[in-house]
Homo-oligomer: A and B are copies of this chain.
């Protein structure tokens, strides 16, 4: 890519900032007032050049300029100031996390809330998962004569529960014995190993094992995975979504959890903050949106994704800062939970 002149950089940066702020095509006069030391005519020349190069476009002949995706991309890569979350905000966030109980579910909720709040976009968070989850512990608890609760704890920290119908009443004592026995057999194994396990079990025990295997299969397939979401409202307030079909398209996408899940994994292959702008995602339904996301967690063991979804006209610096900080924080918390 050919380099732009310093002034072109400056003009492009101003256009992006101005447009992000006001959602209105920005003209030469506005730009001049913004403080470049040259006349509007000069700026018009630069604007024409930037348009020629594909960084800007005009919605129609006599409107101001709007950044193209290429323009945003260049802005994010080369023009944008690094943005760290203000220290006060960082402290506040840390504080909130320490106040909440040590529960993955709650962490995810809080992460989404915090992210939505500080990025002014829609936050998306997935719980940490490893390639193949490993069994840690199960516990059977009598609920009534005919029903028992099966709690399954995975090494990743995920806790799944499942009720099961009992053919005949079983005492809590016996359930405990079964739990202990199965824990000995299953501890540390992954789903595949458990499915392949060939040991002598009672009918009830093998029922339980089958359920455990099924649950772990679901977790592995991420099919049961929830995407924690927050801040949907903020995004609707953006002027580009005042048309109701667009709102619908957006909401429909956000409802489709499976789609979100797939996207999140696809766009955040490794650690670090990734930015996907509009149609770069190669997905039609994302054409009007950008997403900033990062993988967090213990690489190789268990990782999840945090991200911010917003209009292409998004506050990238702010979002990137927020995502980076929250990802780091969640990573620390996980490390601590796993006792490292």
* Chain A contact residues, CB within 8 Å of chain B: 101-105, 136-137, 139, 141-147, 149, 151, 153, 157, 159, 161-165, 172, 232-233, 236-237, 241-244, 247-248, 251-252, 255, 336-339
Residues of B within 8 A of A137 (CB): 141-142, 172
| Cβ A139 vs Cβ B151 within 8 A | yes
**Nearest 7 interchain pairs by C-beta:** A102-B163, A144-B339, A103-B163, A242-B244, A145-B339, A139-B139, A137-B141
| Cβ B151 vs Cβ A101 within 8 A | no
Say whether, besides A151-B139, A255-B233, A159 and B161 are in contact (CB < 8 Å): yes
Say whether, besides A103-B163, A143-B157, A164-B101, A247 and B236 are in contact (CB < 8 Å): yes
| Cβ A337 vs Cβ B233 within 8 A | no
Cα-based distance from A145 to B339 in the complex (angstroms)? 7
| Cβ A143 vs Cβ B153 within 8 A | yes
| Cβ B237 vs Cβ A248 within 8 A | yes
Residues of B within 8 A of A244 (CB): 236, 241-244, 247
Residues of B within 8 A of A164 (CB): 101-102
How far does the Cβ of A231 sit from chain B's closest Cβ, in whole Å? Answer: 10
Residues of B within 8 A of A251 (CB): 232-233, 236
Give 16 new A-B contacts, CB below 8 A, not counting A102-B162, A103-B161, A144-B339.
Answer: A101-B164, A102-B164, A105-B161, A136-B143, A137-B172, A139-B139, A139-B151, A143-B337, A145-B339, A146-B337, A146-B339, A147-B337, A159-B161, A233-B248, A233-B255, A241-B244
How far does the Cβ of A138 sit from chain B's closest Cβ, in whole Å? Answer: 9
Cα-based distance from A255 to B113 in the complex (angstroms)? 13
How far does the Cβ of A57 sit from chain B's closest Cβ, in whole Å? Answer: 26
Other-chain residue from B153, B162, B232, B252 in contact with A103 (beta carbon distance below 8 A): B162
Residues of B within 8 A of A159 (CB): 149, 151, 161
Residues of B within 8 A of A252 (CB): 233
Cα-based distance from A241 to B251 in the complex (angstroms)? 14
Residues of B within 8 A of A101 (CB): 162-164
Cα-based distance from A149 to B106 in the complex (angstroms)? 13
Q: What are 12 A-B pairs at a CB distance below 8 A?
A: A101-B164, A102-B165, A137-B141, A137-B172, A144-B338, A144-B339, A145-B339, A151-B161, A233-B255, A236-B244, A236-B248, A242-B244
Cα-based distance from A164 to B147 in the complex (angstroms)? 27
How far does the Cβ of A240 sit from chain B's closest Cβ, in whole Å? Answer: 11
Nearest CB in chain B to that of A138: its residue: B141
Other-chain residue from B151, B232, B339 in contact with A255 (beta carbon distance below 8 A): B232
Cα-based distance from A65 to B193 in the complex (angstroms)? 68
Residues of B within 8 A of A162 (CB): 101-103
How far does the Cβ of A206 sit from chain B's closest Cβ, in whole Å? Answer: 17
Other-chain residue from B103, B143, B144, B151 in contact with A141 (beta carbon distance below 8 A): B151
Say whether, besides A162-B101, A247-B247, A339 and B236 are in contact (CB < 8 Å): no
